[in-house]
Amino acid sequence: MNKYTPKQRMLNAYKGVYSDYYPIAPEFWFFYPAKVLGISVMEFQRDVPHWRGLLETFRKFNADGWGIAGANEYNPHVKIQSEFRKIMDEKYRETQKVICNGKELERSFIFYSKNPSWVESFAVKNESDLKVYMDAFLSEDINYDFSNAREACKVVGEDFLLEFDLGLPFFDFFEGAMGFENAIMFFVDSEEKVLQKFFDRYLNNKKKLLREAVENTSYESYFIGCSSSCNSLLGANLWGKWDKPYLKAITEEVHKYGKLIHHHNHGKIMQTIRNLVEIGFDCVCPFERSPGDVNGLEGLKAVREMLENKVTFNGNVHTIEALGKVTPEFVISQVREIKEAFKGTPRLIIGTGDQVLYETPEENIYAMIEEGRK
């Protein structure tokens, strides 16, 4: 009988405490839960609570791991009218009229049976749209319903670590409104005082969400993801100017409430690691191999040194070159590298460099889990 539950193992690693073995946490996100449930990725994304798909998948593989759930947001200044229409075989478009304080914006998304959705067009198309959008979506009047988040936490129990989702960093909020290229140009061209006003409003809204989540739920760990807010896309300078202070402020607030915080940071990360330590995250993932920049035993040892045994490492098994394409023996070799680099510290979760692909052979997943537990 195992001494610890999957959830306990994950929390111990976040706290720098040993368990019976290192947590083994493949990032099952969209593809594999859909496969386990026997439905399309589109059906999973639109019709099934994300955490439910993860629950079935973690149970199937008897793995540790993490997932997220969040609050339902009610904004009196925003109304959304949607139309969902098939445009070709296995491909659909959702068109949304986003009515902000009576002014209509429009955005659209493409859904495909075999892949997660992507944005086709963004709501903010000019400076006038931006003011309308920000006035509505950064309103102080937003309210939250935590009933679904409480239910998710109750059902998941000890089967994996379910974290409360605090959303995305500051830049990614703008990217979601206007797209990456336009957001970059806006940040480069805008006066600092203009961006600072938006920053303060965004941070205050997230602090409100965090405070109410602490008051209304029993989550022990909180999560901040990333879309483009990383070195590979945003660059270290712009990230350091706006997202680093945002992430540090939120992390301090989370710790003030006695909670833990986990950050997901895509792509190249070596230039940012010492900043992540300074921010004070309890755990960071996924420390990707190429096209990320954490490669081989020497790369892993360098990361460990920079983390200073203050931040828990999660990730690094390559989801394409190892899990997705080759033999279990190659997967095992990457797991062994990770264990060798981090031997002697409890601040390790053996995870994947982003989500496990639909085509991944089950024997490779089992090989990762079994080798990690030796």
Domain boundary among 139, 157, 172: 139
Total of domains in the chain: 2
Return the pLDDT at 1: 55
Q: How far apart are CA 83 and CA 103, in angstroms?
A: 18
121 and 261 in a single domain? The answer is: no
- DSSP letter for each residue of 35-102: HHHTS-HHHHHHHS-HHHHHHHHHHHHT---EEEE-PEEE-TTEEEEEEEEEEETTEEEEEEEEEETT
Residues 6+ apart with CB under 8 A from 318: 288, 289, 334, 352, 353
- Answer whether residue 361 is part of any domain: yes
364 and 272 in a single domain? The answer is: yes
* pLDDT at residue 2 is higher than 90: no
Q: Structure tokens of 296? A: 């081989």
Question: Domain limits at 197?
Answer: 6-74+142-372
Give the three-class secondary structure for 342: coil
Tokens 């590298």 -> residue: 337
* pLDDT at residue 371 is higher than 90: yes
Q: 162 with 152: CB under 8 angstroms? A: yes
> Which backbone phi and psi does 164 adopt, to 5 degrees?
-85, 130
Question: Which amino acid would we find at residue 20?
Answer: D
113 and 203 in a single domain? The answer is: no
What's the whole-number average pLDDT of the chain? Answer: 95
- Answer whether residue 48 is part of any domain: yes
Q: Structure tokens of 333? A: 């070799």
237 and 306 in a single domain? The answer is: yes
Edge-to-edge strand list for the sheet holding 115-121: 78-88, 91-100, 103-112, 115-121
> pLDDT band at 273, cuts 50/70/90?
very high
Whether this model's pTM surpasses 0.85: yes
Domain boundary among 92, 116, 139: 139
> pLDDT band at 56, cuts 50/70/90?
very high
pLDDT tens for each residue of 336-349: 999 999 999 999 99
- Give the residue among 7, 15, 98, 8 at the shortest CA–CA distance from 51: 7
Q: Which of 2-6, 117-121, 247-251 has the lowest mean pLDDT?
A: 2-6
Q: Structure tokens of 365? A: 């997943």
pLDDT tens for each residue of 197-209: 999 999 999 999 9
